[in-house]
Amino acid sequence: MPDAPRRPPIIYRPDLQPRPQRLLFSSLTALAWLIWLYLFLPLLSLLAWWFGVDLFAKFILRPEDTAHLFTLLRYFGVVIIATVIIIAWSTYNLKRFGGLDRRKMTPPVSDADLCARFNIPQELLENLRTGRNLVLELDDLGQIESAGSADSCASSHRLRHSPPPYPVSVPSEPITR
């Protein structure tokens, strides 16, 4: 008897909850995270001390020489200018190309094109389409040298005595259904 599809252990459908209830639960979750993070403040303080955050505050936030502060303000100005340029360029592109979709679907490949590309007869193409387990041997140019089913090729001398060109992994337990 086939197994029934597995259901997730938690049903998560916030769209079924009323908006005030979702807001309440989201607020409670955020509050719980803040309380949890508050418990790690001593550890964060220790790490900040270890990495020299007190030096950052001494020389950057409360500097005796204001040159550092002006350098940071110039950097901030460069970031703001770059952000404005990128937003302006994106807006321009959206207005110019927003409604256009110039991409075209590639047409399906015809049987004649496939036969010409791989230099195979039409009958072989039909056999390749209907086969389930196929073995193709290709030459250096990617042209099909021979094709057959996996069962008929497994008995050939070449496939029996040469190792496969890819790593083979064997499952430790048999696969059962």
pLDDT in tens, 142-152: 778 878 777 66
The pLDDT assigned to 175 comes to 55
What contacts 146, CB < 8 A, 6 or more positions away?
136, 137
For tokens 């057959």, what's the residue? 148
The pLDDT assigned to 151 comes to 66
Classify residue 137 as left (phi > 0), alpha (psi -120 to 50) or beta.
Answer: beta
Asked whether 111 and 122 are in contact (CB, 8 A), the reply is yes
**Mean pLDDT confidence for 36-54:** 84
Asked whether 145 and 139 are in contact (CB, 8 A), the reply is yes
Amino acid at 159: L
C-alpha–C-alpha distance, residues 46 and 52, integer Å? 10
Share of the chain above pLDDT 90, in %: 23
Asked whether 68 and 60 are in contact (CB, 8 A), the reply is yes
**Mean pLDDT confidence for 32-59:** 83
pLDDT 10s digits, 100-110 = 877 888 889 99
Mean pLDDT, the chain, rounded, equals 79
Asked whether 125 and 110 are in contact (CB, 8 A), the reply is no
pTM over 0.75: no
For residue 160, name the pLDDT band (cuts at 50, 70, 90): very low
Least confident span in 1-5, 45-49, 168-172: 168-172
The whole-angstrom distance between residue 52's C-alpha and the CA centroid of its chain comes to 37
Domain boundaries, the chain: 17-51, 65-95, 111-160
Q: In Å, what is the CA distance from 106 to each residue of 97, 118, 125, 148? A: 22, 20, 21, 30
Asked whether 160 and 154 are in contact (CB, 8 A), the reply is yes
